[in-house]
């Protein structure tokens, strides 16, 4: 019974960590894109 109760929590925590990582990577890509835009304008 405990194993079945713990499994959804584990999957939710994995989902949250993966979404945090993807948002972090998206933010890095946006920052790089802005740098490239600023560099090309000079």
* Predicted confidence (pLDDT) per residue in 1-42, tens digit: 455 666 778 888 999 999 999 999 888 888 888 888 887 776
Model pTM? 0.49
In a domain, 3, yes or no: no
In a domain, 32, yes or no: yes
In a domain, 6, yes or no: no
In a domain, 31, yes or no: yes
pLDDT for the residue numbered 42: 65
In a domain, 9, yes or no: no
Total domains in the chain come to: 1
- Alpha-carbon Rg of the chain, whole angstroms? 18
In a domain, 7, yes or no: no
In a domain, 22, yes or no: yes
Domain range for 24 is: 15-42
């Amino acid at each position: 019974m405990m194993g079945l109760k713990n499994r959804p929590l584990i999957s939710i925590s994995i989902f949250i960590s993966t979404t945090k990582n993807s948002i972090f990577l998206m933010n890095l890509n946006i920052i790089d894109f802005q740098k490239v835009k600023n560099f090309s304008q000079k």
